[in-house]
Structure formats: C-alpha cells, structure tokens
Amino acid sequence: MNDTLLRELVPAVIGVLVRRGAEFAAAEDAVQEALIRALETWPGDPPRDPKGWLVATAWRKFLDAVRSESARQRRELAVEAEPAPGSVAATDDTLWLYFLCAHPSLSPGTAVALTLRAVGGLTTRQIAAAYLVPEATIAQRISRAKRQLAGLPLDRPGDPGTVLRVLYLVFNEGYGGDVDLAAEAIRLTRQLAAATGDPEAAGLLALMLLHHARRASRTGPGGRLVPLAEQDRSRWDTALIAEGVEILQAALARDRLGEYQAQAAIAALHADAPSAAETDWVQIVEWYDELLGLTGSPVVRLNRAVAIGEADGPRAGLAELDKVDPALPRHQAARAYLLERAGERERAAELYAEAAHLAASLAERDHLTRAAARLRGNSELS
C-alpha cells in the first residue's frame, strides 16, 4: 500500500465532507477513522478508486457519529441529503486546509499538529513518534486546535507567512519515528509552492532541499554533530542541491525577495563551495545584509557577525558580535568560535564550556564540550 498516496488524499477527503455539511473537527475525525480502516483492509483488498473509497468510508463514519449523538436538526438534514455513491469530483482542497490550519486563533504548536493531521494525513501516534513526545500530548494539542476552531467563521484563514512558518517548524523538528518530518515538510511545501506560485513558498522549498541535501553528513558516529566546515561534501546529495538552486533562481528572477529566498541563497553559496576554505563569505555577508533588512532578527545579526568574521577576519566579527544581545542563544558559542580563530584559545575554551551548559540539545552540548576539551588540550601541549 502506498502510504504517501494515502496521506495526499486526506485534504481532498476532508474538503468533500466539509462541503457536504460536516464541521471541520467532525470531518477530520471521520477521515482519521477512515484512514485506520484503510490501513486494515487495503493491503489485502485495495480499492479501484482510493479517493472514492475514503470519501464513502469517512462519510459513513461521520453519519454514524451524527446519529449516535442525536445531532441537531440541521445535521439530520445533512444526513437525509447524503449523495448517491459514485465518483468524487476532482477538487483540490489542500491549499484551503493549509490556510485553515494556520488560523489566527491557533498557536504555532497547535497549528503544526493540526497541519500534520489534516494536511499531512498523519495519525496522532505517528506525529507523537516523530516529535518524540507522548501520544497524549499531541492528542491534547489537536483537540485544543479543534476546540478553538469550533464555531468560528472560517473566513479568516492564516496569512501566507504563517503557513510558511508552520511548514518550516515542521522541517526543523528533525527526524524520528515512523515519519521523517523533514521529508514530510518538503512534500507539503512542494504542494503549496505548486498551488500558489508564491516565490517565498518556492524559496522555502529551495531552502529545505539545500539543507536536506547535507543530511547524511551532518552527524557522525553515535549521533555526534559535525559542523558544516568539517562535513564530508562527497556525501552531499548533488541532485537535491541542483534542484534547490534551480528553484531558487526561478524565485529570485521574479524580483519579490523574501526571507526564505535570502536564507536559501546563503545555503546555496555554502552548497556551491567545493570546500569550506573556498566558501564565498563576501557574498554570504551581502545576503545576510539583505536578510537583516527583511527581518531585523537578532539571530540573523548574530549569524551575520560570524560570517563577517570569516570574510574580514575574526576581530571584525567580534566587533559586530559586540552589537548583539549577549543573552541570545548561541551567543557565547559564536564568541568562542571567533576567539579561537583569533588565537585566544584559553578564553575560547572557557566560553565553549559555558555555552555547553546552555545548549538546547545533547548533540550540541557534546559538540561544545569537545571543543572546549580540544582547546584545553592544545593549550597544555603548547
């Protein structure tokens, strides 16, 4: 059975039920039940019309729920108006569901969970496994999202920027469980970019592809973090890089620059360099200038300082870093790196050790701890 096909059908099936009169939450619940039934029966008895089968099964599940709960009269009227079996119109509701899941009333966390369920077609268990959290936690998020949407006029969908941020959050969640969230985010972003023609959606897709191309080289034995400069570039996926660059070039040609296109341009310059030493840091700084102008983000300002340290020397980078809030995450790690390049090994080792205590993940903590130990060892030997 093609699980990807099954998930791709979910938005269309939800859309059919909603147009027939089901509220979004009820339609989504019914479709999830239909998916479970499909997983049980399709391997031995695959339907000739998968979409029609899912619609019919989900509609029956919805009607069963309506009848069992003695629904109000308007829902009974929807039951009486049940359409006759047959083929289902080829209407694409995916885009509508994207924006619905990014409704202004939802927090980013609930929006991500709802997007993975309603648009991605993932089960609660799959989402929980991918996030490495208890299934009950994801179930609560989805239930909260449905409660927030219940009774609201769905004429205030999320804006495109919110939709893109939700997809980027999905991509950045990493890998685990039955579903690779990075690959799932790429699949969903492809759909969005194709449906909207938005250069920023294309820029986000390019950014994801360029980052995903380095996946195999980003960790070493035991999950050890491998910095970009030390990665084995022969393991990078050149096909993904070429696709990402092509998509980015087409987006930039439309002259509607956005933050994801600028981030993708930086990633493309890294991907294009045959080695770390041959990276075009001057161009990267220029793109960071563009990105800072678009976002004003302190994180961008920090990354720009490191890039300046590469382009113009570590002292120039440290001077720029002095303009960044020292409370910002990874500030100490960035300062330690620039101090190391400036030859101040002892102070760099101290800051690496301090940064390790503030690390957001075990892999990052291990990397910073090893950096501190390496410099202390060098100091003792010199």
- Write out pLDDT tens, residues 95-120: 777 788 888 888 888 888 888 888 87
User: What is the Cα–Cα distance from 26 to 68, expressed in whole angstroms?
Assistant: 13
In the chain, the largest separation of any two C-alpha atoms, in whole Å, equals 86
Task: Check residue 77 and give its pLDDT.
Answer: 44
Question: With bands split at pLDDT 50, 70 and 90, how would you rate the model's confidence at 87?
Answer: very low
- Asked whether residue 347 is domain-assigned, the answer is no
- Asked whether residue 113 is domain-assigned, the answer is yes
Mean pLDDT score of the chain? 86
| One domain for residues 180 and 235 | no
pTM over 0.85: no
Task: Check residue 172 and give its pLDDT.
Answer: 81
pLDDT at 67 over 60: yes
Question: With bands split at pLDDT 50, 70 and 90, how would you rate the model's confidence at 230?
Answer: very high
User: What is the Cα–Cα distance from 302 to 288, expressed in whole angstroms?
Assistant: 10
pLDDT at 83 over 60: no
Among 39-53, 181-195, 215-229, 266-280, the range of highest mean pLDDT: 266-280
The residue with tokens 């770390």 is 276
Question: With bands split at pLDDT 50, 70 and 90, how would you rate the model's confidence at 179?
Answer: low
| One domain for residues 214 and 238 | yes
| One domain for residues 150 and 53 | yes
Question: With bands split at pLDDT 50, 70 and 90, how would you rate the model's confidence at 147?
Answer: confident
Calculate what percentage of the chain has a pLDDT beyond 90.
52
- Asked whether residue 168 is domain-assigned, the answer is yes
- Asked whether residue 76 is domain-assigned, the answer is yes
Boundaries of domain holding 231:
197-255
- Check: CB of residue 336 under 8 Å from CB of residue 355: yes
* Range of weakest confidence among 106-120, 169-183, 220-234: 169-183
pLDDT at 7 over 60: yes
- Asked whether residue 184 is domain-assigned, the answer is yes
- Asked whether residue 220 is domain-assigned, the answer is yes
| One domain for residues 170 and 25 | yes
| One domain for residues 242 and 126 | no
Q: Which residues lie below 8 Å from residue 200, measured CB to CB, with a gap of 6+?
A: 160, 161, 164, 251, 256, 258, 259, 260, 261
- Asked whether residue 135 is domain-assigned, the answer is yes
| One domain for residues 184 and 213 | no
* Range of weakest confidence among 152-161, 214-223, 285-294: 152-161
- Look at the chain and report how many structural domains it folds into: 2
| One domain for residues 226 and 89 | no
Span 74-90, mean pLDDT?
46
| One domain for residues 27 and 92 | yes
| One domain for residues 181 and 215 | no
Residue 241's region, left for phi above 0, alpha for psi from -120 to 50, else beta, is: alpha
- Asked whether residue 361 is domain-assigned, the answer is no
Q: Which residues lie below 8 Å from residue 240, measured CB to CB, with a gap of 6+?
A: 209, 210, 212, 213
| One domain for residues 87 and 226 | no
- Of residues 179 and 143, the one with the higher pLDDT is 143
| One domain for residues 180 and 47 | yes
| One domain for residues 169 and 237 | no
Question: With bands split at pLDDT 50, 70 and 90, how would you rate the model's confidence at 45?
Answer: confident
- Of residues 101 and 239, the one with the higher pLDDT is 239
At which of 136, 170, 190 does a domain end?
190
- Of residues 23 and 332, the one with the higher pLDDT is 332
Question: With bands split at pLDDT 50, 70 and 90, how would you rate the model's confidence at 152?
Answer: low
Span 145-149, mean pLDDT?
85
* Range of weakest confidence among 169-183, 249-263, 345-359: 169-183
